[in-house]
Amino acid sequence: MKAAPRSEETKMVLPVSGMHCASCVSKVEKAVGGLAGVTSVAVHLPSRTVEVVFRPGGGVDFKALKRAIERAGYDVLGATETRSAAENLSLLAEQQEQSRLIFRLEVAAALSLPLISAGALNLSPYTALLLALPLQIYGGWHFHEGLARSLVRRAADMNTLVSLSTWAAFLFSAYVVLFPETLPPAARQTQWDAVAGLITIVTFGRWLESKTRGKTNEAVLKLMRIAPKTARVAREGKELTVPIAQVKVGETILVRPGEQIAMDGVVLSGTSTLDEALLTGESMPVEKAPGSRVWGGTINKTGSMEVRVSRPGSESAVARIVEAVRMSQATKPRIQKFADTVASYFVPFIVLTAVAGAVLWALYGPEPKVLLALTCLVSVLAVACPCALGLATPLAVIAGMGHAAELGVFIRNADVLEETSSLDVILFDKTGTLTRGRPQVVEMVVVGGSREDILRYALAAEQRSEHPFASAIISYAKAEKTEAAPVDYFEAFPGRGVMVKSGGKTVRAGSLSWLKEMGCPVPAAQSGLLTGAVSMLGLAVDSDFLGAFILSDTLRPSAREAVERLVAMGLEVVLVSGDRNEIAYRIAEQAGIGRVFAEVLPEEKMQIVQRLQSEGKKVAMVGEGFNDAPALSQADVGIALASGTDIAIEAADVTIMNPDLTAVAAAIALSRRIRQVIRENLLWAFSYNLLLVPVAAGVLYPRFGILLKPAYAGAAMALSSISVALNSLRLRKV
């Protein structure tokens, strides 16, 4: 996991234009990383940004960073402290580049058509040369510009290969037109189709790759577009609409039906249902009442509410999610670092291979030697594609992380993907994770009186109580459409129960032992229920025991399905809980979990994780409470529910916004799929070059007469990058 910058360090994110392949990434990282005072540098190719962490006062500042990057041959568009601002500048520059590319593509296509059809149109050699000249210079300018920069920085990249191949074909063809008598008759063949095909097809491929690359980031862009920009605030008795940045923590915002919740907060008044699909992926609306937490960006469906702001707009759930997804997309998994290392040596190797092959054909090949040598040189340069290597991992990570965000799953960084996809054991906390974390009435026992009387008096007694059991009794009674008995007097006895006066009668609701102390005899059968995996709240009127409510923390509806999915994926599922054995085993049985650790302290949860890791197993811990933080930190992958405590979320590698526990299985399945797509992309990129470079060099020509034409080589080069992008896009729909 990437460590956060220390307080004495400064982070700067620079949008950089001109980066197109893995070689570019390697050159920029080397140029910036070599500066004294720079502690880390991360180049993100898809968004074309460079994140630098450095120590101030060591001679490193924006000017020094800009100078180093420009010496490497790239343009710095500005300096920001946040990735989002840098990406906005980079996105604008990329949109402008796309406009230039599409215009150059149109010009190149218009000039290429008559060149490719020169024979059929009976074009004179000089007419073809006049058409090829603007095609080569203007249509391929972006490649030649890259070649010039590579010469300045003495480091080759993809532009180097394309520019050299087109210049070789163009200059040879121009020589054939102007000085044909100096060449053998068999070698007097122009290569205009190679010039036209390479420039047009590779430019089209770059434009299409850029468009496809943009689609992988749609999830983050969607969050940014949907995120609220203003809030209605109650100030001095007036309703004011102000930008979110001007709303302070503690202020009250007003939300009407159909409006977005502007900021994270707590409901002060009003009840409603909220559409939280933006954050959780859950389509069902969620009920909210006074005291409920709400998230900025969610949609208020029905009633009006007043919400007290608990976080500034820059730290709202949506803002933190966008930043978390951006940061996770910008990190590199270990496998990509290997690919970058290979790519840094790849272009020089290809240039040497092309030159060596051309020399061998010119010296030892059959006639026409010169033409075959040129075809070999141009084809090898054209077919090699470091772009596919550079994009194989980042595009898969961006598409996968974006889809995870749509599902309400937020992964801290790319290294977590590898850990998550290779898990062996999943540890679940019980209270608040597998269970709802709040007691519910599971049964009502009637001893004396009627069911209606018990509910009326219980509702009257508990309406003013703050005990966790009170809300369960109130919900149960209201579900039965009960009207509370009138209350003349109320008194609470902390830890024991409550007493109210109602119509001249004394009503007590509380523990059975307390009712006994108050002179209310409790039947032995009911008293015996106090032990075991349940809790009980009794009700007595005057000295008559009327009945009791059996309460228990209930399993989340999705828990059993989540466990079944995880087991089906080959994972061992274990329950760890600080609760009593009988309670933990009962919940485990309901969830379908066979292995249980009960009555354990927070540090013992961490020790259980360590014990499993010592057995060579990859362990994930799923929790939501303060006491889960040590185990979440120790686990190979910590998974926290967003409904839990902030410390648990901070300690976790993965945050699940959706209360549906099947999202845990979905997160693991998606991580496995992302890893698989990364491997497919890298396998394709390596295999493509290993197979086609020798073919382009002509190894099949002596025996089979197969020689790869430069235009086809350029098409294959463009296709390799596009195929990697399209394969990554499949992750948006898994």
Query: Looking at the annotation, which residues are catalytic?
Result: 429
Phi (first) and psi of residue 691, to 5 degrees: -85, -45
| Angle, CA 424 vertex, CA 433 and CA 632 arms, to 5° | 40
629 — alpha (psi -120 to 50), left (phi > 0) or beta? alpha
Q: Where are the strands (E) in 532-606, listed by range?
A: 535-541, 544-555, 572-576, 595-597
| Angle, CA 715 vertex, CA 141 and CA 722 arms, to 5° | 90
| Angle, CA 260 vertex, CA 257 and CA 263 arms, to 5° | 125
Which residue bears the tokens 């933990």? 584
Give the whole-angstrom CA distance, residue 387 versus residue 444.
Answer: 68
Which residue bears the tokens 């998974």? 639
User: What spatial distance separates the first Cα and last Cα of the chain, rounded to whole Å?
Assistant: 26
Residue length of the chain: 734
| Angle, CA 579 vertex, CA 577 and CA 583 arms, to 5° | 105
Give the whole-angstrom CA distance, residue 528 versus residue 543.
Answer: 20
Give the whole-angstrom CA distance, residue 153 versus residue 197.
Answer: 28
DSSP code of residue 263:
S
- Cβ atoms 167, 80 nearer than 8 A: no
**How many Cβ atoms sit within 10 Å of the Cβ of residue 369?**
16
| Tokens (6 digits) for 341 | 């290392």
Give the whole-angstrom CA distance, residue 399 versus residue 732.
Answer: 6
- Cβ atoms 333, 414 nearer than 8 A: yes
Give the whole-angstrom CA distance, residue 30 versus residue 68.
Answer: 10
* DSSP secondary structure string for all residues of 278-298: HHH---S-EEE-TT-EE-TT-
Helices (H), 157-311: 158-178, 192-215, 218-226, 277-280
- Cβ atoms 518, 545 nearer than 8 A: no
- Cβ atoms 54, 133 nearer than 8 A: no
Give the whole-angstrom CA distance, residue 280 versus residue 642.
Answer: 9
* DSSP secondary structure string for all residues of 83-124: HHHHHHHHHHHHHHHHHHHHHHHHHHHHHHHHHHTHHHHT--
Which residue bears the tokens 């010009």? 107
**How many Cβ atoms sit within 10 Å of the Cβ of residue 525?**
9
Give the whole-angstrom CA distance, residue 161 versus residue 384.
Answer: 8
Report the b/e string of 553-582 with b at 16+ CB within 10 A: bbbbebbbbbbebbbeeebbbbbbbbbeee
| Angle, CA 109 vertex, CA 107 and CA 112 arms, to 5° | 110
Give the whole-angstrom CA distance, residue 535 versus residue 551.
Answer: 5
Burial (CB < 10 A; 0-12, 13-18, 19+), residue 314, is exposed
User: What value does the CA radius of gyration of the chain take, rounded to a whole number of Å?
Assistant: 34
Give the whole-angstrom CA distance, residue 575 versus residue 665.
Answer: 16
Report CA 488 to chain centroid distance, whole Å: 56
CA 6 → CA 3, 55, 130, 408, distances in Å? Answer: 8, 9, 60, 29
Phi (first) and psi of residue 450, to 5 degrees: -100, 160
